[in-house]
Structure formats: structure tokens, C-alpha cells
């Protein structure tokens, strides 16, 4: 799913990114009403509020290590979003997404963005701007640090854009409180399944654990 690790290099400025987003969002189209995107796993959908990933919310994903399926878990929903003519953005991913793998999962790459912000401020700023833009259906972000008030800002942006914000955090964050609507801790099992611990799930049961298979 991922290629080599990103190397530090000068990326486009905040002003350039803002201008690109402004051009994309100036088309005046109304965002879709709040909806639920099925996760692709009936077992997970039975746990998530509304039966899937809810637009207008922030979801925190806390993998125990990289490359265990933390991105593949989202592929069914992301593919559907790109086929609905909305965009998907990745903000500061730790590894370069492998385009052929994305295509195998059904993503339309013309609706897929990578914004390679380097510092904490620019990562959160980029996530907020893309979540707020009604042309984006989902935003995945890997913030270097994030505080409660910044999660709340992302939540407000997701509500404004009718989008879903997926925020990747280290597993230690599970011990901290967060205003995110859904918080999931991810780890692999001996039988190759992705184990999901539901740390928080607004509107549904927390404290549950389940193991699901994620497509390669």
C-alpha cells in the first residue's frame, strides 16, 4: 500500500496550497447532506454509529505500528468517495502511497490528493482547510502533535464540509481524552486479522474488540 518513506524536501507553500484549494472550491457546488459510508466490514459497521463512517465527524486511528492495515481499513469507503466525484486528501503521510495499490482498491487517482506539509502547524492547517472544502469527502492526516482544541477545530471543519476526518495518532494517545467522535486502537493478531479496540464511539458502545480481515 505504501512505498518508500518520505524524505525531507521543500514542498509547496501554504499560499500555493490555499490557492489550489480555493480554485477547487470556487465551483459553488453544495456539499452532500451528512451521510454514512459503510466501512466494507459488516462486523465493524455493526459497532460504528449509524452503521459506518459518518460524515461530519473526526475518527482517530491509533495503530500499534505502521503497515498493519491502518490504511487498507479505509479503502472501501475512500474508493466510493472518489467515485462520487468528491476528493480524498492525505496530509503528511509517513510513507508515499503506492499508486497501483490504490488503483487495485478502486480509487480514482484524479480525485486523490497528497499534501506533504512538514511542520505541525501546516499539517493541521491543511487538514482543516480540506475538511472544510465541500469538494472533499474524506481527509486523512498524520499530525506531529495535536491537542483537544485542535481536534475540535477539525470537527467543526468536518461538519462544515460534510466530510470525514481520519486522524492517525500514536497508540499512547489512547490513554488521553479526546473530543473525537470515534477512537480506534489497531493491532495485528496471530492469525493475521486486524484487531480493533473501540476506545470511544459516540452514539454506540465503546470498550468492544473485534478482529477483521482487510484486503491486501
Q: What's the confidence (pLDDT) of residue 103?
A: 95
Predicted TM-score (pTM) of the model is 0.88
Q: What's the confidence (pLDDT) of residue 81?
A: 96
Q: What's the confidence (pLDDT) of residue 170?
A: 95
The alpha carbon torsion through 99, 103, 105, 110 (nearest 10 deg) reads: 90
C-alpha to C-alpha distance for 10 and 134, rounded to whole angstroms: 28
Each as own residue / partner, the long-range contacts of residues 97-101 (CB below 8 Å, 24 or more positions apart, any chain) are 97/1, 97/2, 97/3, 97/71, 98/1, 98/2, 98/3, 101/1
Q: What's the confidence (pLDDT) of residue 28?
A: 42
Q: What's the confidence (pLDDT) of residue 31?
A: 56
Instruction: Tell me if 49 sits within 8 A of 204, measured CB to CB.
Output: yes
Pairing relationship of beta strands 182-188 and 194-201 according to DSSP bridges: antiparallel
Please report, for the chain, the start and end positions of each structural domain, with discontinuous segments joined by +: 33-212
| Phi-psi group of 214: left, alpha or beta (phi > 0 → left; psi -120 to 50 → alpha; rest → beta) | beta
Mean pLDDT by 10 residues, the chain (216 residues): 45 61 61 80 92 96 94 96 95 91 95 92 95 96 95 96 97 93 93 92 81 86
Please state which of the four CATH numbers 3.40.50.620, 2.130.10.10, 3.40.50.2000, 3.40.50.300 is assigned to the domain occupying 33-212.
Answer: 3.40.50.300
How many other CB atoms are found less than 10 A from the CB of residue 55?
Answer: 24
Alpha carbon 162 to chain centroid distance?
A: 14
Q: What's the confidence (pLDDT) of residue 85?
A: 86
**What are the DSSP calls for 41-100, one per residue?**
-HHHHTTSGGGSEETTEEEEEEESSTTSSTTGGGHHHHHHHHHTT-EEEEES-SEEE-HH
Alpha carbon 70 to chain centroid distance?
A: 10
Q: What's the confidence (pLDDT) of residue 203?
A: 75
Amino acid at each position: 500500500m505504501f512505498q518508500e518513506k518520505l524524505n525531507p524536501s521543500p514542498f509547496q507553500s501554504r499560499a500555493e496550497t490555499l490557492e489550489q484549494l480555493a480554485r477547487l472550491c470556487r465551483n459553488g457546488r453544495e456539499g452532500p447532506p451528512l451521510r454514512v459510508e459503510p466501512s466494507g466490514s459488516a462486523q465493524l459497521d455493526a459497532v460504528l454509529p449509524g452503521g459506518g463512517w459518518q460524515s461530519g465527524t473526526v475518527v482517530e486511528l491509533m495503530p500499534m505500528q505502521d503497515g498493519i492495515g491502518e490504511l487498507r481499513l479505509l479503502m472501501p469507503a475512500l474508493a466510493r468517495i472518489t467515485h462520487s466525484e468528491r476528493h480524498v486528501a492525505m496530509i503528511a503521510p509517513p510513507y508515499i502511497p503506492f499508486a497501483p495499490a490504490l488503483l487495485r482498491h478502486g480509487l480514482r487517482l484524479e480525485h486523490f490528493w497528497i499534501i506533504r506539509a512538514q511542520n505541525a502547524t501546516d499539517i493541521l492547517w491543511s487538514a482543516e482547510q480540506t475538511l472544510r472544502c465541500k469538494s472533499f469527502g474524506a481527509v486523512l492526516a498524520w499530525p506531529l502533535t495535536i491537542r483537544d482544541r485542535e481536534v475540535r477545530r477539525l470537527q467543526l471543519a468536518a461538519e462544515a464540509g460534510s466530510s470525514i476526518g481520519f486522524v492517525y495518532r500514536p497508540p499512547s494517545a489512547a490513554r488521553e481524552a479526546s473530543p473525537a467522535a470515534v477512537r480506534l486502537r489497531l493491532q495485528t493478531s496471530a492469525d493475521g486479522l486486524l484487531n480493533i479496540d473501540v476506545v470511544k464511539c459516540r452514539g454506540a458502545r465503546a470498550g468492544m474488540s473485534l478482529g477483521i480481515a482487510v484486503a491486501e
